[in-house]
Homo-oligomer: A and B are copies of this chain.
């Protein structure tokens, strides 16, 4: 592959001049410029980004470590991150942690070795020393979706508290009193927060969240299935299952179906994270939708701000409830009169 030297030789100038033309530095004669450009053209020259990075100490690359690529929520996040980054002139390298701290660390390490300019992480666990070190060492970093408390890193996330309250109100109005949750890992902020929000909302309605109704999941479908099995085996199973993410909801659906039960007649289901398929599931699933695209874009902007020396601030956007039929009543406007409308 042609190097800058070849271009210089072809154009009959020095490498310095070629470099100047390429970075459009002002002091180059029109003549030299056209000759260089012509040489670039005939040789099909493309600057070696590796060499450039070594010299300039910047890669114009962002690292994104997400918890699980198979989760549509993170997929959408990744997409918006890449889009915004591209608009700002950065590339993105995605690392998939698969909810495993060791894999997460592996990716953080490789990314750091690659000297990415900044790191976007939605941490799988509560305190990878590697990541803490990186943050302390001054690597520009932003947490997205999940975060690690006590670290001086901007956090871009969405607040589901009021949406969860809306959900519980909705459920309560439908007559449900025994509500259970499939929680995410306690090591993650979203894992804890969603349970806390749920419990707080229940309390507002004078309801309790017994331990038996708190299943421990790991944000993967299989755990949703397992926990749901447990719920269904109880002497007094819950009337509603709230899954803290869409994959665990999928698992719950698997489990309910395996028992030959029906949603919402036998048991109601709601999920955190809305995905397109929830419109077409049987029944359509009531969910809490995050402004995923906005989240990704805000995260990139905050990170690039940091990289380029500007402050880079935390952002919190509200999530909102999307009512469908999986909890009983169809329709978006929660009217206090439980109209029995048999659908599908």
Contacts and interface: CB of A to CB of B under 8 A. Distances in A.
Interface of A: 1, 44, 46-51, 53-54, 59, 69-70, 72, 75-76, 78-79, 82, 86, 91, 93-94, 96, 106, 109-110, 112-115, 133, 137, 221, 232, 236-237, 250, 253-254, 257, 259-261, 266-267, 276-277, 279-284, 337-344
Contact of A46 (B1, B94, B109, B282): B109
Contact of A110 (B91, B106, B250): B91
Nearest to A253: B280
Contact of A250 (B259, B277, B283): B277
B70 A75 contact: yes
A147 B277 CA distance: 29
Contacts of A109: 46
B282 A237 contact: no
Contact of A79 (B48, B70, B276): B70
Given A75-B75, A342-B266, A114 B261 contact: no
Contacts of A250: 276-277, 280
Contact of A260 (B53, B115, B338): B338
17 contacts: A46-B112, A47-B113, A49-B110, A49-B114, A70-B75, A91-B93, A94-B94, A221-B276, A232-B343, A254-B280, A260-B337, A261-B341, A267-B343, A277-B277, A277-B280, A281-B281, A281-B282
Given A1-B137, A47-B113, A50-B59, 20 more contacts: A46-B109, A48-B54, A49-B115, A50-B115, A54-B54, A70-B75, A70-B79, A72-B72, A91-B110, A91-B114, A254-B279, A257-B279, A257-B280, A259-B341, A260-B338, A260-B340, A261-B343, A266-B343, A267-B343, A280-B282
Contacts of A253: 280
Contact of A50 (B53, B75, B79, B133): B53
Given A49-B114, A50-B53, A339 B260 contact: yes
